[in-house]
Chains A and B, each alone.
Chain A
């Protein structure tokens, strides 16, 4: 069966000593930084992107993916131990996870999170393997009209499902698209918005902008609190689950996986939305519903399974279609581009070892996380005590040097500064930053497909509506915009994202 062949190719790639090492390093680095207070996964990924450029494409993506779910795991650890989610998708875990820790059951909470995540990761990997291939084949039949429509739909739905005002989300997409214009227009060779600076001929540096927008602005945001309370860390005493615990988490873990897998594929969905929905569903149907909010282990297992499944399935649109469903996937696409690989359905056929190797290594990475992290809990607890006053200068230093190392040029470092300031301004104006990066990444392909589409249809804009697939996709995009603008939808979105 073709799928088995593909999976064995993937495993062969993922299990080479080199890629195992990269996976391991990624997972450990990711967990390490995910555990550190005040550093989110986006900042982590953006900061560590330059390190991966020296590696082969497969190795680089494997390490990045490892960093991603490592950071997720680290975020859950802080959520349980100090009631501070290391990243947003772990926010729901704090509700019952911290309560369990307060009752002396931190170890069980951590184990439940790890095992639920592993189960979710395994099932999600299988799902990806099954779905990615056929989806890619479908996408290969697309012409420029369909691609353009698909990109538009991807961008629109990414703001529909995410938090924040939709109109402002669209505004951020536009801003991202605008800043992607800087540089040379590949088709005509014209220099655009370079202000006469030769350094700008290649456009703005993607890593520099990401690091500035996510890492530096986050640092500035952390300076808003005038009081820093070093939260008491509750050290776990043991990490085993009782038999009863084990039985209790099976159902929630499986349900969370299902919810996360579905919601993760949708642009703008991913880990955050999945964990919220899974928690609420579990609360509604659990026989132990009364315990929720006071340390119900199901309240940890369900969202953890959901956010891990969501994180992994969000790779599907990226791998098969070249469409990022969230900012993390945009960073992955950026990494691919910098490795010289054009993201899209051709990746599966032209670089099958990359495609299947990455899928297989996700499972390997999940296994590593479970095996390594539970014994290393003591180390993570110590890391939690590092004061932020030491951390943020280190972040600045690492980011700047990392950005320098991409092209051995200091010009991108200035971009980091400017992006950081603008990013902070946007945060203060209550704009979401993820759509900005999505727009930045998709600007070039969007224009390219539009150009080709107009060429094919002889300059006729209605060509988009004459072709059934592109017409459908554009209609769905318009419908999404309209539905989310309705007052009922906005109250629902408000409730989902304010659940505490």
Chain B
């Protein structure tokens, strides 16, 4: 059976998301009825509709030819970009704006496998300084430059 795998995955993904909202909504929210819509009314019909659309997409994939392989970003890129954002969110208030930026930018630079470490340090320091200046000194963002972890 010729199947377009990407389309099939897309449809399945959408249906699964819809299913999650459907089940979680049914369990946690009262639905009410048309005259007095409960908080679960709209989610019920919406998630139901989403599941149908997802199934339709998946069904359509059974009739289309498979498309060629798609390029995808390296796992390294995905991991380090995500880590960078998470690190910043976790550390910014505790370590301070400047240290948080240093770490986040360093991690972000690591996403690119080709950049030499000297450049990573240079970019991180430069951009951290720039951002701290703009946001803390320039726009008076209410966050410590050096946070409680380092005695700020």
Contact = CB atoms under 8 A, between A and B. Distances in A.
Interface of A: 51, 165, 167-168, 170-171, 174-175, 177-178, 181, 185, 187-188, 190, 192-193, 216, 219-221, 223-225, 389-390, 392-394, 396-398, 400-401, 404-405, 408, 410-411, 413-414, 416-417, 420-421, 424-425, 428-431, 447, 450-451, 454-455, 458-461
Contacts of B105: 393, 396-397
A216 B19 CA distance: 27
B109 A400 contact: no
Contacts of B90: 410
A167 B9 contact: no
B53 A167 contact: yes
Contact of A420 (B9, B85, B114): B85
A393 B42 contact: no
Interface residues of B, number: 71
B18 A393 contact: no
Given A431-B10, A454-B34, A461-B34, A178 B93 contact: no
Interface string B26-45: 00111001111111001100
Interface of B: 6-7, 9-10, 13-14, 17-18, 21, 24-25, 28-30, 33-39, 42-43, 46-47, 49-50, 53-54, 56-57, 60, 70-74, 77-78, 81-82, 84-86, 88-90, 92-93, 97, 101, 104-105, 108-109, 111-112, 114-115, 119, 123-124, 127-128, 130-131, 135, 139, 141-143
Contacts of B72: 224, 428
Contacts of A414: 85-86, 89
Contact of B10 (A193, A417, A429, A451): A429
Given A167-B53, A223-B73, A193 B42 contact: no
Given A404-B143, A405-B141, A410-B90, A178 B35 contact: no
Contact of A175 (B17, B70, B73, B108): B17
Nearest to B122: A390
Nearest to A414: B89
B149 to A, nearest CB: 15
A400 B127 contact: no
Q: Which of B71, B92, B108 has the most CB of A within 10 A?
A: B108
A494 to B, nearest CB: 14
Contacts of A404: 92, 141, 143
Contacts of B71: 224-225
A195 B101 CA distance: 30
A167 B11 CA distance: 10
B73 A424 contact: yes
B92 A410 contact: yes
Nearest to A393: B108
A172 B142 CA distance: 37
Contact of A223 (B35, B111, B124): B111
A416 B10 contact: no
A397 B54 CA distance: 36
Contacts of B47: 178
16 contacts: A167-B53, A167-B60, A174-B14, A178-B50, A216-B85, A397-B101, A397-B131, A401-B97, A405-B135, A410-B92, A414-B86, A417-B86, A420-B82, A429-B9, A455-B35, A455-B36
A401 B73 contact: no
Nearest to A450: B42
A461 to B, nearest CB: 7
A221 to B, nearest CB: 7
Contact of A393 (B10, B50, B127): B127
Given A417-B89, A455-B35, A398 B81 contact: no
Contact of B81 (A51, A389, A420): A420
A24 B32 CA distance: 51
A407 to B, nearest CB: 11
B108 A458 contact: no
B43 A171 contact: no
Contacts of A459: 33-35
Contacts of B111: 223, 392
B46 A401 contact: no
A455 B33 CA distance: 11
Given A397-B101, A408-B142, A454-B34, A417 B85 contact: yes
Contact of A174 (B18, B85, B89): B18
Contacts of A188: 38-39
Contacts of B24: 193
A396 B50 contact: no
A223 B104 contact: no
